[in-house]
Amino acid sequence: MRRGNEQGFLVVAMMAMMIFLCLIIFGMFGLSNANLARAKSRVLSLQAQYSAESGADAAIAVYNGGNTSYTGTGAGETQVLSTNTYRSTYTTTVSPGSNGKEIIINATGKVYQPANTTTAKFVHKVRVTAQRSSTTTASSMLSRNILAIDSSVKNVTGKDVFVNGYITMAKNTTNFTAENITVAGKNTGASNCSIGGTGNLIKPTSFTNSGQTKTNINVAYNNCISPPGNSSNSDFNVSANQTSITTVQSTYIPWSQYMDNGYTSGNCSDWTTGGTTRTIPSTSASKKTQYPDSGSNISTSCGSSGDLALGSNQYNIADNVHVRASFCAATACNPTFYNPDSTMKYMFIEGSVNFDSVQTASGSGPITLILYGADPASKTSVCPYGGSFYLGNGGQTAAPALFVLATNGVCLDKTKFGAAPAMGGVAGKNIYISTNSGSPFDLGFNTSFPVNQIPTDLSWRAVRYQRLF
């Protein structure tokens, strides 16, 4: 009897143990399923956040593609990912920031589970502030393609030179002097020369950078001017066949980079009426320096059908300027510009420029003339690489406070210069120099001009990120 009782107790104990173990196992299964469900939810929640961030990145990419009027996706959702179990989308809105070089992007990311449902299970919204900025700046001479120095030139002197394509000099008496020369391309028709022709490379008698004693030459292919060729010597540090030289992708600077909504439309007569000295804007501190603000490109209401004749007058540039016209397209002119203070002034010109000569008045602060115009067909015979900025030989150019930056070609055609420095610098798609040697002076660029204030490769970048929910 006792033995039977003991056996019964053992069976009960085993059954209790089995029930306990089953409860533990079922509990572990339940916990695992709960953890797996939470993990899936967290992954899908992150996917909604990533979708929102993808929307913000896509908006920045649209702006960097040149569409700065983009306002977002609207109500329609853009699909990011779709699987058998879920799909994710984003919507964006883009609005102006605190100035013309800032935008605010609000992006909403959604995840639908299952994929065919019409109500999002996970939603996240982010706000990204993007600003237009640059990591590189201009040089004394900057060309996005070719720098060509023709046979009539004797001396060209500058500080830093950067060329995407190649440099060519057409006469063995041409002396090209610079502190730093960088060339990213080659002339495939001339032994893969980054620098070629029959001229001479000369080091400066003095350098602006403390401690520098030699001209630095960095080329992606060959320096075909010898000496120094591809070898360093007592005057040059040469680094040839360099594979890491990056090109300048864009010299385009939109006027909104330096002119916000506080600038308003002025009257083009500011440029064409008054005495021989005219202040722009004519109303002091008015910021009425858009001439005219008609929307885009050249306006026929400005000047004579979009052509402003500047004559030989002096223009005091008191603020940044945006002009929807060309300068002197019909008849070349000889203007003088003057910046009354040390702050850089930017002049944005929608058209082309046709100067016989140009000067900056004594004591002028720095001025950058930025041209969006095309290369005129009328200059093709004398400007083989384009001449949206054309500088002729009807006077003497002495403009050490003026830097010219053109979206297209820069052409200096038999130009006569004053004592060096004669110009602040030039930049363009191509630069063609065919100046009159020694009449009375050769071309010297201003090594003190603040080229670090002229950006290149401007692009939109995210500078602030907020996760709203």
**In tens digits, what is the pLDDT along the chain, a chain of 469 residues?**
445 555 566 667 677 777 767 767 666 665 556 555 566 788 889 999 999 999 999 999 999 988 988 999 988 999 999 998 999 999 999 999 988 899 999 999 999 999 999 999 999 999 999 999 998 899 999 999 999 999 888 999 999 999 999 999 998 889 999 999 999 999 988 889 999 999 999 999 999 999 999 999 999 999 999 999 999 999 999 999 999 999 999 999 999 999 988 999 999 999 999 999 999 999 999 999 999 988 888 999 999 999 999 999 999 999 999 999 999 999 999 999 999 999 999 999 999 999 999 999 999 999 999 999 999 999 999 999 999 999 999 999 999 999 999 999 999 999 999 999 999 999 999 999 998 888 889 999 999 999 999 999 999 999 999 999 8
Cα gap 105→60, rounded to integer Å: 9
DSSP secondary structure letter of residue 38: H
Task: Give which of 451, 356, 366 is closest to 162, Cα–Cα.
Answer: 451
Contacts of 302 (CB under 8 A, 6+ apart): 268, 291, 292, 294, 308, 323, 324, 325
Three-class SS of residue 380?
A: coil
Say what the pTM is. 0.87
Contacts of 215 (CB under 8 A, 6+ apart): 178, 179, 180, 181, 201, 203, 204, 235, 236, 237
